[in-house]
DNA sequence: AAAATCTACAACCGCACGAGA
DNA sequence: GTCTCGTGCGGTTGTAGATTT
């Protein structure tokens, strides 16, 4: 037997809410509270489904909501928490006062994912793409590695060319050239040179990541004792360590023990070993039982809850958390 | 100026859970 | 234990406005 619908779909209005509807809902809730969502539309004189009313209230009308842009601190919190809990938007939103899970989800999907990708970081694993490639490369035979490198370079090249030829960048280059008194021809030449140089740097960085044996110990790819992404980034300046207006905040990820800003983010991946978990976080969180909903205890496989009031959430001080994640 | 494309965000949908009968 | 109901959640879609061609 299927679930009965929450309302008769024929009789309810859908789509954008009007200011009048917002007023009706807000004033009804101000008087009567949010006790029974199924009854609220009827009693408030709205031709909406109760679920729609609940969503409208929780995501938009609630007086404690923030409606402005996400601050850099909020973005960093989202990135950090996402690297730990994944797409558990309600958990992430609980740490951001005035933000809803829908807000956080939308912001992640529209902006943060792209920002991370633009920084060469996989938004799913939170690992640098180059290291993912290198990790894959360790499982391949040398001829296959060559093909992989070719394919990766193709992707990088297309992406970089796309980015570098964006109108906005042209405009910025044009402005800087204009201020130097350069003409259009030199502008185009310098842009082409910059593309070529960038591609060469990508090639160098990727080949190093794949070839350097020390860089990727077979069974402990992200070991804190190994070479760091900082080193890699140092050899490949085209790989953006920070992107205008946004940083992956190496300082807050910084592991005092080895000075590597990236090791902790690397620990989120499937290759993170038990030893690596000291001071970093698990590759995957496992919940007690099958429930993956907010409010449940989150545990490491055999380890105690990682979120307690004294513990450090990565390097996010516990004070930064609005609500303990349990 | 108009069409095409992109972006951001609101809203919807279906599934799952917990509480209570 | 089972069923119903209310609610929470995450994924997806729709769309208005902005930007680019």
Asked whether residue A11 carries a pLDDT value surpassing 50, the answer given is yes
If asked whether residues A85 and A123 sit together in one domain, one would say: yes
Nearest protein residue to nucleotide B7 (CA to C1' distance) is: A110
How far in angstroms lies nucleotide B7's C1' from the CA of residue A196?
Answer: 30
Q: Is the CB of A91 under 7 A from strand C?
A: yes
pLDDT, residue A7, reads 59
Q: Is the CB of A309 under 7 A from strand B?
A: no
Residue A107: other Cβ atoms inside 10 A: 19
If asked whether residues A91 and A164 sit together in one domain, one would say: yes
Nucleotide with minimal C1' distance from the CA of A61 is B10
Q: Which residues make Cβ contacts (< 8 Å) with residue A155, sequence separation at least 6?
A: none
How far in angstroms lies nucleotide B21's C1' from the CA of residue A36?
Answer: 17
pLDDT, residue A43, reads 85
- In total, how many domains does chain A have? 2
If asked whether residues A76 and A122 sit together in one domain, one would say: yes
Q: Is the CB of A135 under 7 A from strand B?
A: no
The predicted model gives A236-254 an average pLDDT of: 36
If asked whether residues A123 and A79 sit together in one domain, one would say: yes
If asked whether residues A55 and A78 sit together in one domain, one would say: no
For A102, the token pair is 């829908």
| A161 domain-assigned | yes
Beta bridge partners of residue A287, listed in sequence order: A298
If asked whether residues A56 and A130 sit together in one domain, one would say: no
| Residue A326 pLDDT level (bands cut at 50, 70, 90) | very low
If asked whether residues A54 and A131 sit together in one domain, one would say: no
How far in angstroms lies nucleotide B21's C1' from the CA of residue A307?
Answer: 37
Nearest residue to A119 (alpha-carbon basis) of A172, A75, A53, A62: A75
Asked whether residue A216 carries a pLDDT value surpassing 50, the answer given is no
Nearest residue to A249 (alpha-carbon basis) of A72, A71, A124: A72
> Which pLDDT tens digit goes with each residue over A144-169?
777 776 766 666 655 555 555 444 44
| A265 domain-assigned | no
**In chain A, pLDDT over 70 holds for what percent of residues?**
40
CATH number at residue A90: 1.10.10.60
The predicted model gives A39-47 an average pLDDT of: 86
Nucleotide with minimal C1' distance from the CA of A69 is B8
Instruction: Please state, in angstroms and rounded to a whole number, the distance separating the CA atoms of residues A101 and A67.
Output: 13
Query: A152-177: b or e for each residue (b if 16 or more CB lie within 10 Å)?
Result: beeebeeebeeebeeeeeeeebeeeb
Q: Which residues make Cβ contacts (< 8 Å) with residue A224, sequence separation at least 6?
A: A255, A257, A258, A260, A263, A276
Nucleotide with minimal C1' distance from the CA of A49 is B12
The predicted model gives A297-303 an average pLDDT of: 36
If asked whether residues A131 and A55 sit together in one domain, one would say: no
Q: Which of A2-6, A130-134, A320-324 has the lowest mean pLDDT?
A: A2-6
Q: Determine contact, residues A262/A253, Cβ cutoff 8 Å.
A: yes
Q: Is the CB of A26 under 7 A from strand B?
A: no
The predicted model gives A181-208 an average pLDDT of: 51
On chain C, which bases lie within 7 A of the protein's CB atoms? 3-12, 14-16, 20-21
pLDDT, residue A86, reads 83
Nucleotide with minimal C1' distance from the CA of A166 is C20
How far in angstroms lies nucleotide B6's C1' from the CA of residue A21?
Answer: 30
Nucleotide with minimal C1' distance from the CA of A85 is C10
> Which pLDDT tens digit goes with each residue over A170-190?
444 444 444 444 444 444 444
If asked whether residues A116 and A159 sit together in one domain, one would say: yes
Query: A283-292: b or e for each residue (b if 16 or more CB lie within 10 Å)?
Result: bebeeeeeee
How far in angstroms lies nucleotide B7's C1' from the CA of residue A277?
Answer: 38
Q: Is the CB of A144 under 7 A from strand C?
A: no
How far in angstroms lies nucleotide B5's C1' from the CA of residue A167?
Answer: 14
User: What is the residue range of A166's domain?
Assistant: 72-142+151-170
CATH number at residue A24: 1.10.10
Instruction: Please state, in angstroms and rounded to a whole number, the distance separating the CA atoms of residues A210 and A150.
Output: 12
Instruction: Please state, in angstroms and rounded to a whole number, the distance separating the CA atoms of residues A191 and A226.
Output: 36
If asked whether residues A102 and A163 sit together in one domain, one would say: yes
Q: Is the CB of A59 under 7 A from strand B?
A: yes
* Residue where one domain finishes, among candidates A36, A61, A86: A61
The predicted model gives A22-36 an average pLDDT of: 86
Nucleotide with minimal C1' distance from the CA of A1 is C3
Instruction: Please state, in angstroms and rounded to a whole number, the distance separating the CA atoms of residues A53 and A37.
Output: 7
Asked whether residue A259 carries a pLDDT value surpassing 70, the answer given is no
pLDDT, residue A293, reads 37
């Amino acid at each position: 037997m299927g679930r009965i619908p929450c309302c008769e779909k024929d009789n309810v209005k859908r789509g954008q809410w009007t200011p009048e509807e917002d007023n009706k809902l807000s004033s009804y809730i101000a008087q009567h509270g949010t006790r029974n969502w199924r009854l609220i539309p009827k009693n408030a004189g709205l031709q909406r489904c109760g679920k729609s009313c609940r969503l409208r209230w929780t995501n938009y009308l609630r007086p404690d909501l923030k409606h402005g842009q996400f601050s850099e601190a909020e973005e960093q919190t989202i990135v950090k928490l996402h690297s730990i809990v994944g797409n558990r938007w309600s958990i992430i939103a609980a740490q951001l006062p005035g933000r809803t899970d829908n807000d956080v989800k939308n912001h992640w999907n529209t902006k943060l994912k792209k920002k991370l990708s633009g920084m060469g970081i996989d938004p799913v694993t939170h690992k640098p793409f180059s290291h993912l490639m290198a990790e894959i490369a360790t499982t391949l035979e040398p001829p296959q590695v060559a093909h992989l490198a070719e394919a990766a370079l193709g992707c990088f090249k297309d992406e970089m060319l796309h980015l570098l030829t964006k109108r906005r960048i042209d405009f910025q280059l044009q402005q800087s050239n204009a201020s130097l008194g350069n003409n259009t021809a030199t502008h185009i030449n310098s842009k082409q040179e910059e593309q070529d140089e960038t591609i060469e740097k990508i090639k160098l960085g990727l080949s190093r990541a794949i070839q350097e044996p020390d860089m990727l110990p077979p069974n402990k790819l992200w070991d804190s004792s190994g070479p760091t992404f900082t080193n890699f980034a140092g050899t490949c300046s085209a790989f953006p360590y920070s992107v205008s207006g946004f940083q992956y905040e190496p300082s807050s990820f910084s592991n005092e023990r080895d000075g590597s800003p990236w090791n902790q983010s690397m620990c989120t991946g499937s290759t993170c070993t038990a030893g690596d978990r000291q001071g970093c976080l698990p590759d995957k969180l496992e919940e007690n039982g099958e429930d993956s909903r907010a409010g449940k205890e989150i545990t490491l496989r055999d380890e105690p809850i990682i979120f307690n009031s004294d513990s450090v959430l990565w390097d996010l001080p516990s004070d930064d958390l609005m609500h303990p994640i349990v």
